[in-house]
Amino acid sequence: MTEFIPPGTRHIALPSPFAMKRGDALHDARMAYETWGRLNAAADNAVLILTGLSPDAHAASHADNAEPGWWEAMLGPGKPIDTDRWFVVCVNSLGSCKGSTGPASIDPATDRPYRLAFPELSVEDGADAAAHVVRALGIDRLACVVGNSMGGMVALALLQRHPGIAHAHINISGAARALPFSIAIRSLQREAIRLDPNWNHGDYDEEAYPEAGMRMARKLGVITYRSALEWDGRFGRVRLDGDRRIDDDPFGLEFEVESYLEGHARRFVRRFDPNCYLYLSRSMDWFDLGESCQGTCEMGLSRLRVDRALSIGVHTDILFPLQQQQEIADGLMAGGADARFLPLPSPQGHDAFLVDIARFGPAVREFLDSL
Amino acid sequence: MTEFIPPGTRHIALPSPFAMKRGDALHDARMAYETWGRLNAAADNAVLILTGLSPDAHAASHADNAEPGWWEAMLGPGKPIDTDRWFVVCVNSLGSCKGSTGPASIDPATDRPYRLAFPELSVEDGADAAAHVVRALGIDRLACVVGNSMGGMVALALLQRHPGIAHAHINISGAARALPFSIAIRSLQREAIRLDPNWNHGDYDEEAYPEAGMRMARKLGVITYRSALEWDGRFGRVRLDGDRRIDDDPFGLEFEVESYLEGHARRFVRRFDPNCYLYLSRSMDWFDLGESCQGTCEMGLSRLRVDRALSIGVHTDILFPLQQQQEIADGLMAGGADARFLPLPSPQGHDAFLVDIARFGPAVREFLDSL
């Protein structure tokens, strides 16, 4: 039961109690965030970044933490999200284990980790918590909210529940609702964790830890975050050298692609809390901007108040397929926003925004420059 | 450790010893098969069907087993594979648990199930075993060999290793080699089984059975056998009624798509032997028609001796993607065959050939009629 908080992370307390959408409330909860650049006197140059499921708030290096962040190439002086102009805030998601309150945090009512006593978490709760951070930093209206993957869902919920909170929006590989293929994938990832006897209904520790379940969940994640096209070129049918086979098992690793998945799993399993993973994963399945407004998804989108928007996706994304980014742009346009849909030919699938900076960088820069 | 042999299945003994491609040999092994229609006097009206990973030889009902088979709509009097004209043979794959010898069969050397003592199984071994059945039935030359999915790999290996064994070939959602996305999926399915403590390095029994691992493997299989497009229309975001939720777990089934996967898993886990699954799955990863001829995949295809061929695939197949069926047709054409590539707009993904008979039926009928 460990939280993983990068050095230099700052915190803002949430109102206590902090009411949750599906019922119940958090007490003494907090949000972790990091910032880059300076808020100007008019407080109108703020950009909020909302992340995918697993990243922390450390999107890029800064004075308090020189380690490269998960979006280092995108964010900094002179970079596409130019911190010479913008005051950039990245929050760690509510429900995560990287500084914001989540199932791995201490429940003040019991002085023990919440585990499954954490209230049901929805994407909307993450949006409300992010809105509180924005206002606590003295920002009435963001210049732009940028949301990637799950963060794209949180951004739409933020616009829905906090009308006028942002002038502009960049939605990257996001979705206005979960569809059954991605629900099936996430359900299977959660089942892998839950089937691990060490999960023990959430009551594990470092010794008895659901490592096998987390390995499966992460590998299935990586398979759906990338693309067959990328892997054909990158791995083909290349075998591991004999001395890189780490397993005498007749069914052990043999192909490079298997070793790649293994490396990803090893780096992840002990660095993300399994219960937090379950809560965040389930929150995505529940998300539907239409259900939230008792209407269709298109209706939900058309009612969002935002002036300018850019919805970016890639052809090779199987988890948040391209038509979902098209849907976002169309819905925002139907509501009167100046919205653009930008499909990119990145071969890397859902995760392209993390690695294909050559394509995503100019798109993001151009949009922000135009604000 | 159970085999699952449909009533009315017949058997043919393999030569003993039966040499395996990657070394070692089987003793007293046998192949299960079923037939429909009658072999004519010239013995030139035979059609061989090679199956995907899990089916048995019971492709359709017949006098000895009235139960509908897995391709009931495709096969029978007046049906696309018309048994009034063709003598149809379907074999259960070598290495399976449905009548042909595999890891769940008794090893005559020990009088106990082979389990992991079964020799390494390759697609080519399955092809050699199928060729033996063909010849044992008095057939020198098949009118056509039809291979679906894994069976499409076996069919190509059959043509490579037994030149002239077939006049024509229908390859359905097959591939001439395994590519890294499908290797990754299968590797993860095998890992799910191997991580199940009950797998116990292959030494399980009915009481201590790797059910959790098999559930995961099957669900991941079903996810990759179908398509996101089909599921959007079929399941959308529909929830289960309260009384159909079979789990009080807060992470239990909630969406229809989860219940669908659950149903598939329940029907499968105790009806396919886990070790057989591991062996057959791994054999597909190893398959590369190019490696088998010390050349490229295209070279391997162009050297196959077949007069007529039809390679069918669907746009929504993520496991054996459409370009692999195009590759088969192109390669056979390069070798001088009269080969055609037929992409179909079926929404059902890899498994479309089992369900979209409205599209696959006429395509198969027309090709066979033209022979």
What is the interface pTM, i.e. ipTM, of the complex? 0.95
Determine, for residues B237 and A177 on separate chains, whether the beta-carbon distance falls below 8 Å.
Answer: yes
Gap between the Cα atoms of A212 and A206, Å rounded: 13
Mean pLDDT value across residues B315-333: 97
Determine, for residues A231 and B257 on separate chains, whether the beta-carbon distance falls below 8 Å.
Answer: no
Q: What is the pLDDT of residue B249?
A: 78
Query: A196 vs chain B: nearest CA distance in angstroms?
Result: 8
Query: A188 vs chain B: nearest CA distance in angstroms?
Result: 7
Q: Do the beta carbons of residue A128 and residue A148 sit within 8 Å?
A: no
pLDDT in tens, B24-56: 999 999 999 999 999 999 999 999 999 999 999
Query: B119 vs chain A: nearest CA distance in angstroms?
Result: 11
Gap between the Cα atoms of A145 and A293, Å rounded: 21
Gap between the Cα atoms of A371 and A44, Å rounded: 11
> What count of CB pairs under 8 Å joins A to B?
133
Gap between the Cα atoms of B103 and A267, Å rounded: 35
Residue of B nearest to A278 (CA): B251
With bands split at pLDDT 50, 70 and 90, how would you rate the model's confidence at A250?
A: confident
Of A270, A46, A280, nearest to A151 by C-alpha is: A280
pLDDT at B4 over 90: no
Q: Concatenated DSSP letters for B350-368? A: GGHHHH-HHHHHHHHHHHH
Determine, for residues B258 and A195 on separate chains, whether the beta-carbon distance falls below 8 Å.
Answer: no
Q: What is the pLDDT of residue B301?
A: 98
Q: What is the pLDDT of residue B272?
A: 96
H/E segment holding residue A49: strand A46-50
Determine, for residues B278 and A251 on separate chains, whether the beta-carbon distance falls below 8 Å.
Answer: yes
Q: What is the pLDDT of residue B243?
A: 66
Gap between the Cα atoms of A11 and A2, Å rounded: 17
pLDDT in tens, A141-160: 999 999 999 999 999 999 99
Mean pLDDT value across residues A11-18: 98
Q: Which of B54, B149, B281, B302 is catalytic?
A: B149
Determine, for residues A257 and B180 on separate chains, whether the beta-carbon distance falls below 8 Å.
Answer: yes
Q: What is the pLDDT of residue B250?
A: 87
pLDDT in tens, B187-245: 999 999 999 999 999 999 999 999 999 999 999 999 999 999 999 999 999 999 876 66
pLDDT in tens, B79-103: 999 999 999 999 999 999 999 999 9
Q: Which of B317, B346, B351, B356 is catalytic?
A: B317
Q: What is the pLDDT of residue B164?
A: 97
Residue A232: its chain B contacts at CB < 8 A?
A: 179-181
Q: What is the pLDDT of residue A4?
A: 87
pLDDT in tens, A329-346: 999 999 999 999 999 999
pLDDT in tens, A157-191: 999 999 999 999 999 999 999 999 999 999 999 99
Q: Which of B114, B191, B275 is the best mutation test for A, with the most CBs of A within 10 A? A: B191
Give me the residue from B180, B190, B318 closest to A255, CB to CB.
Answer: B180
For residue B107, the one-letter residue type is D
Q: What is the pLDDT of residue A29?
A: 98
- Is B350 labeled as catalytic in the residue annotation? yes
Q: What is the pLDDT of residue A244?
A: 67
Q: What is the pLDDT of residue B244?
A: 67
Query: B241 vs chain A: nearest CA distance in angstroms?
Result: 16
pLDDT in tens, A200-223: 999 999 999 999 999 999 999 999
Determine, for residues B251 and A194 on separate chains, whether the beta-carbon distance falls below 8 Å.
Answer: yes
Give me the residue from A188, A234, A282 closest to B219, CB to CB.
Answer: A188
- Is B285 labeled as catalytic in the residue annotation? no
With bands split at pLDDT 50, 70 and 90, how would you rate the model's confidence at A241?
A: confident
Residue B180: its chain A contacts at CB < 8 A?
A: 228, 231-232, 234-237, 255-257
- Is A350 labeled as catalytic in the residue annotation? yes
Number of Cβ within a 10 Å radius of residue A224: 21
pLDDT in tens, B251-282: 999 999 999 999 999 999 999 999 999 999 99
Q: What is the pLDDT of residue A304?
A: 97
Residue B182: its chain A contacts at CB < 8 A?
A: 228
pLDDT in tens, A278-324: 999 999 999 999 998 889 999 999 999 999 999 999 999 999 999 99
With bands split at pLDDT 50, 70 and 90, how would you rate the model's confidence at A262?
A: very high
Mean pLDDT score of chain B? 96
Q: Say whether B167 sits in a helix, a strand or coil.
A: strand
Determine, for residues B250 and A116 on separate chains, whether the beta-carbon distance falls below 8 Å.
Answer: yes
Gap between the Cα atoms of B370 and B33, Å rounded: 26
Determine, for residues B212 and A223 on separate chains, whether the beta-carbon distance falls below 8 Å.
Answer: no
Gap between the Cα atoms of B323 and B330, Å rounded: 10
Q: Which two tokens stand for residue B172?
A: 């359905």
Determine, for residues A216 and B188 on separate chains, whether the beta-carbon distance falls below 8 Å.
Answer: yes
Q: Concatenated DSSP letters for A78-116? A: TSSEETTT-EEEEEPPTT-SSSS--TTSEETTTTEE-GG
Entry pTM: 0.96
Residue A219: its chain B contacts at CB < 8 A?
A: 184, 188, 191
Determine, for residues B187 and A285 on separate chains, whether the beta-carbon distance falls below 8 Å.
Answer: no
Residue A223: its chain B contacts at CB < 8 A?
A: 181, 184-185, 188
Determine, for residues A236 and B180 on separate chains, whether the beta-carbon distance falls below 8 Å.
Answer: yes
Residue B234: its chain A contacts at CB < 8 A?
A: 180
pLDDT in tens, B142-175: 999 999 999 999 999 999 999 999 999 999 999 9
Query: A127 vs chain B: nearest CA distance in angstroms?
Result: 22
Burial B186-196 (b: 16+ CB within 10 A, else e): bbbbbbbbbbb
Mean pLDDT value across residues B286-303: 94
Determine, for residues B179 and A228 on separate chains, whether the beta-carbon distance falls below 8 Å.
Answer: yes
Q: What is the pLDDT of residue B247?
A: 59
Q: Identify whether B17 is preceded by a cis peptide bond (ω within 30 of 0).
A: yes
Q: What is the pLDDT of residue A94?
A: 98
Q: Which two tokens stand for residue B120?
A: 């390494």
Domains of chain B, CATH where assigned:
10-182+287-369 (3.40.50.1820), 184-276 (1.10.1740.110)
Q: What is the pLDDT of residue A243?
A: 66
Gap between the Cα atoms of B235 and A212, Å rounded: 30
Query: A184 vs chain B: nearest CA distance in angstroms?
Result: 6
pLDDT at B1 over 80: no
With bands split at pLDDT 50, 70 and 90, how would you rate the model's confidence at B246?
A: low
Query: B228 vs chain A: nearest CA distance in angstroms?
Result: 5
Q: Which of B122, B177, B187 is the best mutation test for A, with the most CBs of A within 10 A? A: B187
